[in-house]
């Protein structure tokens, strides 16, 4: 069939200018039919398919130049998908606390591996893809959590750069750095829970859990430390007055409850600390023990396979078992917050969370209240950091210092006092 006959049959058919006399198909010019060839630093021939001859020549020249100047990166190295690479990165992590890696794995599984970003090849991750991912995660996460996830993702790409799979970490692009969550961007300078708020919450809690408010706001304990607190941890005859020795917490190894050192503690440095026991807190604890005598429980140490450790604890459930944090937060603490109007319930007909976001109003807010009261009472930041179990007072300043009511008047009084002393 001649070209003229074909044109008569297909009046809309186009003749290819490059290949005269031949007609273009629908897929004409869309395939990668040109091959760029070069030899890598080891002398092995590499290839890459391109759409046009010009594109192939440019790519080939680029690769040869990089081989010559030592900046060559094997294009095949970046073929691995983000989700798979994150798993490889996590496999090399080691921590003293076995639960730390569990938290890493959970964050990355939910917010990286389970997203569209994970399906991209690491060499194809662009600034736009990362900005879109950050936008989607912001709808689900607090900035403090998103900052951790982003830092983990950036570390995974750092490893890819070190392994010469990609030339540059896409997380370091200026446009991405400009929109990433920053430290302090969501730090609440006003106290999330005031003393009056905690009094209302205490009233709404079941009787057996009321003194948990006192151990949080009166001793600065973390939630797990409150759950692991017992009568053997109080030194009533200490030379400086009654003191509490915070030596353990109730934690989780997966679904299994375990005893562990306070946060950050290891066998070599358990991070235990002493805190002054005030009269009012002591009275609340003693009244509690009359109604709910301490019980002795045995849990594995640090991990589900750890050595069994037996300790007496003040706080436990109706089944006389240690308190499980997720259950307590969902079925005890949040209903109390809702009862006093600090959070609102969501539509029960919709799947997902039952209450509006309340991260800043959970039991940890009691520690912030404790810290603010100590500073307001004249306790210096170094002493406060020690009582909270912080090795760095700067961390205490960044995270636990809030505005104090009437601070302006105190500033005026301090200046007045200073000038009075000078005179």
Domains of the chain: 3-72 (no CATH), 79-177 (1.10.150.130), 195-400 (1.10.443.10)
What percent of the chain is modeled with pLDDT above 90? 54
Structure tokens at 352: 């997902």
- With b for 16 or more beta-carbon neighbours within 10 A and e for fewer, the 337-346 pattern comes to bbebebbeee
Averaging pLDDT over each range in 177-181, 215-219, 350-354, which range is the top one? 215-219
User: Which residue in 262, 251, 323 sits closest to 99, CA to CA?
Assistant: 251
Give the pLDDT score at 1: 45
CB atoms within 10 A of CB 147: 18
For the segment 351-363, what is each residue's pLDDT rounded down to a tens digit?
777 878 888 899 9
pTM assigned to the model: 0.71
User: Where does the pLDDT of residue 6 fall: very low under 50, low under 70, confident under 90, or very high at 90 and above?
Assistant: very low
**Whether residue 133 has pLDDT greater than 90:** yes
* CB neighbour list of residue 204: distance below 8 Å, 6 or more residues apart: 335, 336, 339, 340
Which residue did the predictor score with more confidence, 104 or 309?
A: 309
**Which pLDDT does position 377 carry in this prediction?**
86
Q: Per DSSP, what are the bridge partners of residue 162? A: none
Question: DSSP class of residue 340?
Answer: T
Least confident segment among 63-67, 222-226, 295-299, 414-418: 414-418
What is the model's pLDDT at position 7? Answer: 45
Q: How far is residue 283 from each of residues 215, 293, 377, measured CA to CA in Å?
A: 11, 14, 21
Average pLDDT (401-418) is: 68
Residue 413 pLDDT:
72
Ramachandran angles phi, psi of 396, nearest 5°? -60, -45
Distance CA 161, CA 177 (A): 18
pLDDT at 380: 92
When mean pLDDT is compared across 232-236, 276-280, 417-421, the lowest value belongs to 417-421
Q: Which is more confident, 231 or 401?
A: 231
**What's the whole-number mean pLDDT along residues 168-196?**
82
Average pLDDT over residues 396-416: 72
Q: In the predicted model, what is the mean pLDDT of residues 138-167?
A: 89
* CA distance readout (Å), 166 to 125, 269, 388: 10, 39, 43
What's the Cα-to-Cα distance from 80 to each of 61, 108, 109, 120, 169, rounded to whole Å? Answer: 25, 17, 17, 8, 15
Tell me which H or E stretch contains 128.
helix 127-138
Determine the Cα–Cα distance for residues 13 and 134; give it in Å rounded to an integer: 47
pLDDT at 185 over 60: no
Lowest mean pLDDT among 177-186, 226-235, 290-299: 177-186
Q: Is residue 88 over pLDDT 50?
A: yes
Q: Write out pLDDT tens, residues 12-64.
A: 555 655 555 555 555 555 677 788 887 877 788 888 888 888 888 888 888 78
Q: pLDDT tens digits, residue range 277-304?
A: 999 999 999 999 999 999 999 999 999 9
Model pLDDT, residue 77: 65
Confidence of residue 410 (pLDDT cuts 50, 70, 90): low
Query: For all residues of the chain together, what is the average pLDDT?
Result: 86
Q: How far apart are CA 39 and CA 338, in angstroms?
A: 67
What is the 8-class DSSP label of residue 296? E
pLDDT in tens, 364-393: 999 999 999 998 888 999 999 999 999 999
Do residues 88 and 160 make contact, with C-beta atoms less than 8 angstroms apart? no
Residue 142: partners with Cβ closer than 8 Å, 6 or more residues away:
186, 357, 359
Q: Is the pLDDT of residue 169 over 90?
A: yes
- As a whole number of angstroms, the distance between CA 135 and CA 267 comes to 41
- Give the per-residue pLDDT at 74: 67
Instruction: Rounding to the nearest 10 degrees, give the CA dihedral for residues 187, 188, 194, 197.
Output: -100
Distance CA 245, CA 238 (A): 11
Chain CA centroid to CA 287, Å:
38
- For residue 3, the model assigns a pLDDT of 46
Asked if residue 150 lies in contact with residue 181, where contact means CB atoms within 8 angstroms, the answer is yes
Task: Find the mean pLDDT for residues 258-266.
Answer: 92
């Amino acid at each position: 069939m001649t070209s003229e006959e074909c044109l008569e049959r297909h009046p809309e058919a186009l003749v290819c200018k490059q290949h005269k006399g031949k007609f273009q198909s629908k897929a004409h010019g869309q395939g990668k039919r040109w091959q760029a060839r070069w030899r890598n630093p080891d002398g092995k021939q590499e290839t890459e398919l391109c759409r046009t001859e010009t594109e192939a020549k440019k790519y080939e020249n680029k690769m040869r130049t990089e081989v010559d100047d030592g900046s060559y990166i094997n294009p095949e190295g970046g073929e691995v998908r983000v989700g798979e690479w994150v798993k490889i990165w996590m496999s090399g992590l080691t921590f003293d606390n076995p639960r730390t890696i569990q938290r890493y794995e959970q964050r990355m599984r939910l917010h990286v591996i389970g997203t569209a970003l994970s399906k991209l090849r690491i060499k194809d991750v662009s600034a736009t893809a990362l900005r879109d991912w950050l936008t989607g995660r912001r709808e689900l996460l607090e900035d403090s959590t998103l900052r951790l996830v982003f830092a983990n993702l950036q570390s995974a790409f750092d490893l890819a750069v070190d392994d010469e799979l990609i030339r540059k970490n896409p997380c370091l692009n200026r446009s991405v750095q400009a929109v990433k969550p920053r430290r302090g961007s969501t730090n609440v300078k006003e106290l999330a829970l005031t003393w009056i708020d905690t009094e209302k919450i205490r009233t709404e809690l079941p009787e057996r859990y009321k003194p948990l408010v006192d151990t949080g706001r009166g001793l600065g304990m973390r939630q797990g430390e409150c759950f692991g607190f017992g009568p053997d941890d109080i030194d009533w005859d200490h030379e400086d007055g009654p003191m509490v020795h915070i030596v353990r917490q109730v934690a989780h190894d997966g679904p299994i409850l375990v005893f562990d050192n306070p946060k950050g503690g290891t066998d070599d440095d358990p991070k235990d600390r002493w805190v002054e026991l005030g009269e009012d807190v002591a009275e609340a604890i003693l009244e509690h023990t009359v109604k709910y005598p301490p019980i002795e429980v045995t849990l594995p140490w640090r991990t589900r396979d750890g050595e069994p450790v037996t300790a007496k604890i003040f706080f436990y459930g109706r089944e006389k078992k240690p308190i499980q944090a997720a259950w307590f937060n969902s079925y005890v603490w949040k209903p109390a917050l809702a009862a006093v109007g600090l959070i609102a319930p969501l539509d029960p007909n919709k799947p997902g969370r039952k209450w509006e976001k309340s991260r800043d109003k959970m039991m940890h807010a009691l520690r912030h209240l404790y810290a603010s009261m100590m500073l307001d009472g004249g306790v210096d930041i170094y002493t406060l950091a020690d009582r909270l179990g912080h090795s760095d007072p700067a961390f205490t300043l960044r995270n636990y210092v809030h505005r104090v009511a009437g601070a302006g008047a105190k500033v005026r009084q301090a200046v007045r006092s200073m000038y009075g002393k000078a005179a």
